[in-house]
Amino acid sequence: MTEWMGISGMKLNRVGYLIREGFRSIFTHGFMSFASVTIIMACLIIMGSVSLLSLNIDALIKDLENQNEVVAYVDEKINDDAQIRAIGDAIRTIGNVQSAEFVSRGEAMDKFMSNYDSDLMEGIDETVFRHRYVIHLTDISLMAQTKAQLEAVDGISEAKAHTQYAKAFVSIRNVVTVVSLVLIVILVFVSIFIMTNTIKLATFSRREEIAIMKMVGATNSFIRMPFVIEGLVLGILGGGLGYLAEWGIYDGLTVKVVGSMAGSFLNIIPFTSVALFVFIIFIGLGILVGVFGALNAIRNYLKV
């Protein structure tokens, strides 16, 4: 590792020289440096926006999932409290059941009545309703399976579940995850490609210098170092500026979305709760793209 970085046995003033060289190159190729920082920034912003969007969709789906409950009706013949409790315990032993809440027929009727005009419903007897368990699941994609397991519980006459919604949620989530992953991978490669070409331009104009360095006995790691530093600095700059821009864009959009009628019902993840994570990813990817781009660009010149 240290040999790769060219630090092994290197004196401090040599490191200082290499760092200065790296920075010098950034300023000598000012326009290309500006271009690479901008490109890294743009790629990171697109990547970050897609990820944050997918994170929000994920949170939204989770939210909706939590509202998506399975109702298991207790057999009408069973009225004994102890028996009903035993059914509840049996339900809770099913792996995918997160919670099971008992709702008596009386409570069910009250809830029903509260939703409708009580005058119309006058005279309805609570025996029309059944005792039931309202169940939340851990994994919504296993809803159909869990429904069957619930129906197999002794004392449960029927279970109702909106499996079609569950399927839709799961497929939306899968699509969002796949699309964002594919986009991220593509953008990382695009950034590395652009970075490679930027540093290649820097190396091209300095190929004579590199040839002379080789001739007087410079090691490959010594030659590589200034370019790696250049890539590293440009990567960190692109990552840092991209992070600030992402923050601004996200906050601006959040205010707009929440401010609108439709958006006011949405629970959007605040940027501050993911800020550190986004920062680490942006800087990390910036460094990765910068350093890989530099190493890639310089490779051909080191063969002699």
Would you tell me which residues interact with another protein (CB under 8 A)? 10-11, 13-14, 17, 208-209, 211-220, 222, 304
Q: Indicate the residue among 241 and 295 with the shorter CB distance to another protein.
A: 295
* Least distance in angstroms from the C-beta of 297 to another protein: 20
Distance CA 154, CA 8 (A): 72
Q: How far is the CB of 8 from another protein (least distance, A)?
A: 11
Contact 18, 229 (CB under 8 A): yes
Q: Which of 70, 90, 80, 89 is nearest to 132 (CA)?
A: 70
Smaller CB distance to another protein: residue 1 or 215? 215
Q: Give 30 or 217: the residue with its C-beta nearer to another protein.
A: 217
Q: What minimum distance in Å lies between the beta carbon of 37 and another protein?
A: 24
Cα(234)–Cα(190) distance, integer angstroms = 16
Residue 147: CB atoms within 10 A of its CB come to 20
CA angle 104, 107, 113 (to 5 degrees): 140
Dump strand ranges (E) for 104-234. 132-137, 156-160
Q: Tell me whether residue 76 or residue 209 sits nearer to another protein (CB atom).
A: 209
Strands of the sheet with 132-137, listed across from one edge: 97-103, 132-137, 70-74, 156-160
In angstroms, give the least distance from the CB of 214 to another protein: 7
Q: Minimum distance from CB of 210 to another protein (Å)?
A: 11
Distance, CA of 94 to CA of 82 (rounded, Å): 19
**Closer by beta carbon to another protein, 5 or else 168:** 5
Compute the least distance from the CB of residue 218 to another protein, in Å: 4
Give 8 or 171: the residue with its C-beta nearer to another protein: 8
CA atoms within 13 A on the CB side of 298: 23
**28 or 164: whose CB is closer to another protein?**
28
Q: Are 26 and 230 in contact (CB under 8 A)?
A: yes
Least spacing, CB of residue 302 vs another protein, in Å: 9
Contact between residue 188 and residue 289 where contact means Cβ atoms under 8 Å apart:
yes
6 Cβ contact list (under 8 Å, min separation 6): 18, 219, 221, 222, 224, 225
